[in-house]
Amino acid sequence: MIINGGLPMKIAFSSSITDYMEKVEALLLRKEASNNLMLGLLDHFKTTITKDVHFGYLEDNGEIIFAFMQTPPNNWILADVDGIDEQVITSVANFLYKKALKVPGVLGPISYVEAFVNEWKKLKKTNASIHMNQLIYQLDEVKIKPEAEGELVKGLKKDHSLIKGWLIQFGKEAREAISEIKASQMATKYIENSTIYLWKVNGKPVSMVNQSRKTKHGATINAVFTPNEFKRNGYATSAVAALSQKLLDEGYQFCSLYTDRDNTTSNNIYQKIGYHVVGSSVVYEFS
C-alpha cells in the first residue's frame, strides 16, 4: 500500500519492547491521556518479561504514523493518533488477517475501531457487538475540596477481604465480571503496590479508589466503588478528588480515568472534580 504518494507503507511488529518504545513512544505521548492504556502497558513491560506480546506499528516514508498492540488473549488496542485515515486502519485488519492472528476483540477510539470492525467482519464473515462504550477523562487541576466527612487511607493487608469483596461488586456494576480468585489476586497486588485507598468515615471504610497505570507524565485512576448502603453521600467524589490531588502533589502533571459513556451520574461527578473529556474508548468483541 502507498500512502501520500511516497514509498510503500511498512506495517510490522517490533521484536523487543526497547525497539517498540523507541519507535512509538513520541507518537503516543502526543495524546498521552488518551493512550494511557498502551503507554501504561509499555511502562509495565519495561521491567517485566514479555511473552507473545504483539507490538505493531505503521511506518510511512520513514515516519511512524500509527501503533497497535495485543497482550494475548486480550483484545487488540488501537492507538489514538490524529490525522489517520480509514485506509490505515483497514490495513491493520488485513495485516492481522494475513498473519492468521487471533482477534477476540478490538478497542480504541470509536472511529478507528468501527473502521477495523467493518473490515474484520468482511474478512472473517463474523459478527461483532459492543462490549463497552467509554469516555476518557483528564484532570490537570482539582477544582473541589473533598466535601464528605472522612479521610483517604491506604488499604492494608487487614483490608484484603473487604477490598476483594468490593472488587467483585465493582465488576458487576461495570459489567466486567471479576471472579473470586481474580479479585483476591487484584486486592493482593493493589495492597502490595500501595495503590489502593479507602475513604473512611469515623474509621469505617465507605468507598474505595485505586491508582492504576502510570505514564510519563500522568497516572490513571480506576476501581472507584461505593457499596449501595453508602451511596449518595459524596464519598466516591471525595475519594477521587483526594487521590487526584495526592497524585498531582507527588509530581504527576495529570490524572486520567475511564467512564461509562451512558452513566450521566459518574460523568457529572468527574466533571465537577475537574476532569474533562479527551478521548473515547469503545470495545467490540467478535463472536
Residues 59 and 190 in one domain: no
| Confidence category of residue 174, pLDDT binned at 50, 70, 90 | confident
Residue where one domain finishes, among candidates 126, 154, 184: 126
Cβ pair 80, 260 in contact under 8 A: no
Residues 96 and 150 in one domain: no
Q: What is the pLDDT of residues 47-96, one digit of tens each?
A: 887 678 999 999 999 999 999 999 999 999 999 999 999 999 999 999 99
Residues 145 and 275 in one domain: yes
Residues 154 and 110 in one domain: no
What are the φ and ψ backbone dihedral angles of 205, each rounded to 5 degrees? -70, 130
Residue where one domain finishes, among candidates 95, 126, 157: 126
pTM reported for the whole predicted model = 0.92
Q: Is the pLDDT of residue 29 over 50?
A: yes
Q: What is the pLDDT of residues 250-280, one digit of tens each?
A: 999 999 999 999 999 899 999 999 999 999 9
Cell 480468585 locates to 181
Cβ pair 219, 247 in contact under 8 A: yes
- The rounded Cα 106 to chain-centroid distance in angstroms is 13
- Label residue 108 left, alpha or beta by phi (over 0 means left) and psi (-120 to 50 means alpha): left
Could you tell me the CATH number of the domain that includes residue 171?
3.40.630.30
